[in-house]
Amino acid sequence: MIGTVLGGRYEIIEKIGAGGMAYVYKARCKLLNRNVAIKILRDEFVNDEEFIKKFRRESQAAASLSHPNIVNVYDVGMEEIDGNSIYYIVMEYIKGKTLKEIIREKGKLTLEETLDYSIQIGEALEHAHKNHIVHRDIKPHNIMITEDGRVKVTDFGIARAATASTVTNTSNVIGSVHYFSPEQARGGYTDEKSDIYSLGIVIYEMITGKVPYEGDSPISVALKHIQEEIIPPREIDNTIPIGLENIILKCVQKSQIDRYNSAAELLRDLRRVKYSGNTKDMEDTALIQNTQIMPAINNGSEDNMKKPKAKKKNGGLKPILLAILLAFVVVSSAVLGFYQLKKYFITPEVEVPNLVGMNVDKAEEELEILELKLRISKEVPSSEFKKGDIIEQKIKAGEKVKPGYTIDVVVSSGGNYVKVPNLIGKSITEIDSILEEYNLVEGKVTPQPSDTIEANIIMNQYPNPYTEVEEGTKIDLIVSQGPETKTVLMPKIIGRTEQEAENALNAFGLQLGKRDESPSDEFDKGKIMWQSVEPGVAVETGTKIDIKISTGPEPEPEPEPVEEKEVPFNVNLTLPDDGSEIEIIVERLQDGVAETVYKKNHEADGKTIKIPLKGKLDAEFNFYYNGEFNSTVYHPDR
């Protein structure tokens, strides 16, 4: 993948990590010139249509989150490379370490660090929950700590898309199962309180340096989440404040109803411990009290008990036998009476059935047969459960209750509904952000020609504008292609003038494109010598045709002047015989330039000397004796 460009802008630089569902790469955004992190789904998920559908919906929802403690999601996309589908998420690139790496390095964190990180994680969850987004995979591996100590929670949306089967098939389950809530381990309904449970486990690990449950396999760890209570943190380290211990214990209650109602409530108690320094029990978090065993009351030993006085005379045996018989009759009557009355005072219990996923009307019928009652405690929106289906039951399936007991349930009110925005008249290039704002998805796009609406403008949509639909609904669009195109046969315009060619092209519904000029021995000046589309080829109307026009024959080049060379020659000169010294100077006049080419003193002894000279054939050479002109010599080959 290194060097691959996704979406035409994200160039992958290096691989920086891998998880159970995706590989993580560092990339460079060419458009904004910044580093980003890209998560690419593993191959085993790309063929799971249901997973991909949830992945897109949840990732787009996560992209709407904007909070300083949540990693920003910039883009979500899919690309075909070499026949393979690549699904990816583009996120903010964080320089730092995961919380898991920090815990491994330090062993355990200080109280200040634990509270600081816990509050920042809680604030991230509070923001997400207010936007109806549940993380479902809170663990130290998904929490980044920047170099300046800021918490960044990542992977919102991915965990929601994963089904139980996909998670089980990944190696990442071993890391995640230590932080699963009991309802996740059972495969039951999860909500915001599932994130609160997982955060409680993370806080436990930060302050103690270990997770509360260990096991030989992921299944054994998951069972401990369901069945076993955690070891209180203060039994591992008695310096941990009681207030923080109680916060952890409330977060990790087995029943969702017994946990904090919201991240806001959890944050209130965390801040109370951090800023007040209070280490005493807090009312809202004091959940578990040790059973106190009352000491047995000592009524004294046998030795201190009064002994009956021995009768001096041995009484008759008959009163003793009558007393024994009477006692037997009384005890037998009591035992018989107890068993007779038991069926009136002790009622047999019935097992609660699994109601999750069942319609509320059918559930009432089922419970009526078992002499149980049903009560709807609240209705919540859900995209996973149909309207009227039960999402959660307070008394879990398999538990036993007495006839007449009322089972509280949470019922789905259906998905969140939004009004479809009006997209008609808008460009197809600007609807992504609009649909994302309304949590809707682009559906089938059908192009149609139109003589009145320009290309790429939306002409119609389904569902119609302002219709109420569930979030995640696909919006089908009809987009204008512009005027319907027709084809014509390309005419021959070679040999014509530019004006003639333009008239011919207009007649066929074509246009004149780029023009160029070049010399030609074949075509007269001003005639077209080349056209971009061959004559007789079918072309769409409106196509631009490029041409090349002749400037006439190329002119013959002027002959280059032959540069005249300088030719050497010798001049024999006889000196006077008066014994004096003579200075001989030769000045050459060539191409209008005078230049001294010889200057030397000679003894006037009547001898003949040879003076070497060089010049062009038309050059003149003037001789001077002691500065006075003597004679002019011309080139001998002149």
- pLDDT tens digits, 445-486: 998 888 788 888 999 999 988 887 878 889 999 999 887 778
pLDDT, greater one: 522 or 160: 522
The arithmetic mean of pLDDT across residues 513-538, rounded, is: 92
Single-letter residue type at 496: R
When pLDDT is cut at 50, 70 and 90, the band that residue 421 belongs to is: very high
Whole-number pLDDT of residue 438: 87
Residue 532 pLDDT exceeds 60: yes
Sign of CA dihedral 371, 347, 353, 225: positive
The arithmetic mean of pLDDT across residues 540-560, rounded, is: 86
Note the pLDDT tens digit of each residue in 243-262.
999 999 999 999 999 999 99
Whole-number pLDDT of residue 206: 97
The one-character DSSP state at 240 is S
Report in angstroms the alpha-carbon separations of 166 from 160, 202, 305, 342: 11, 23, 73, 52
Residue 126 pLDDT exceeds 90: yes
Whole-number pLDDT of residue 623: 92
Residue 241 pLDDT exceeds 90: yes
Distance CA 159, CA 88 (A): 15
CATH class of 5-92: alpha beta
Nearest to 402 by CA among 351, 355, 363: 351
Single-letter residue type at 485: T
Whole-number pLDDT of residue 636: 86
| H/E stretch holding 246 | helix 242-251
When pLDDT is cut at 50, 70 and 90, the band that residue 332 belongs to is: low
Where do we find the tokens 């790309």?
46
| In the chain, % of residues over pLDDT 70 | 84
Residue 88 pLDDT exceeds 60: yes
Whole-number pLDDT of residue 575: 85
Single-letter residue type at 439: N
**What is the pTM (predicted TM-score) of this model?**
0.46
Distance CA 190, CA 200 (A): 16
Residues 122 and 70: beta-carbon distance below 8 Å: no
Lowest model confidence (mean pLDDT) among 174-188, 189-203, 239-253, 364-378: 174-188
* Candidate ranges 198-202, 212-216, 507-511, 591-595; pick with highest mean pLDDT: 198-202
Single-letter residue type at 567: V
Whole-number pLDDT of residue 163: 39
Residue 360 pLDDT exceeds 70: yes
CATH class of 487-550: alpha beta
Per CATH, which fold does 417-480 belong to?
Trypsin Inhibitor V; Chain A (3.30.10)
Whole-number pLDDT of residue 282: 46
When pLDDT is cut at 50, 70 and 90, the band that residue 394 belongs to is: confident
Q: Can you state the angle between helices 192-208 and 111-130, rounded to 10 degrees?
A: 170
Contacts of residue 163, Cβ cutoff 8 Å, sequence gap at least 6? 50, 51
Note the pLDDT tens digit of each residue in 27-72.
999 888 889 999 888 888 888 777 777 777 767 767 778 888 999 8
Whole-number pLDDT of residue 531: 94
| In the chain, % of residues over pLDDT 90 | 39
Q: What is the mean pLDDT of the chain?
A: 82
Whole-number pLDDT of residue 319: 54
Tokens of 90: 């583009």
Strands 544-550 and 511-518: parallel
Report in angstroms the alpha-carbon separations of 517 from 494, 496, 506, 520, 546: 13, 14, 22, 10, 11
When pLDDT is cut at 50, 70 and 90, the band that residue 138 belongs to is: very high
Nearest to 423 by CA among 477, 481, 482, 480: 477
Residue 291 pLDDT exceeds 70: no
Whole-number pLDDT of residue 326: 58
Residues 519 and 550: beta-carbon distance below 8 Å: yes
350-412 shares its CATH topology with 487-550: yes
Whole-number pLDDT of residue 111: 94
- The residue extents of the domains of the chain are 5-92, 97-276, 350-412, 417-480, 487-550, 567-634
When pLDDT is cut at 50, 70 and 90, the band that residue 599 belongs to is: very high
In this structure, the chain runs to a length of 638
Q: Does the structural domain 97-276 have CATH classification 3.90.1170.40?
A: no
Residue 533 pLDDT exceeds 60: yes
CATH of 567-634, one of 2.60.40, 3.40.50, 3.30.420, 1.10.1740: 2.60.40
* Bridge partners, 78 (sequence order): 87
| H/E stretch holding 477 | strand 474-480
Catalytic residues: 137
Q: Can you state the angle between helices 263-276 and 242-251, rounded to 10 degrees?
A: 170
Residue 304 pLDDT exceeds 70: no
Per CATH, which fold does 350-412 belong to?
Trypsin Inhibitor V; Chain A (3.30.10)
Nearest to 455 by CA among 434, 483, 476: 483
CA angle 513, 519, 524 (to 5 degrees): 85
Residues 404 and 373: beta-carbon distance below 8 Å: yes
When pLDDT is cut at 50, 70 and 90, the band that residue 561 belongs to is: low
When pLDDT is cut at 50, 70 and 90, the band that residue 551 belongs to is: very high
Tokens of 8: 């035409």
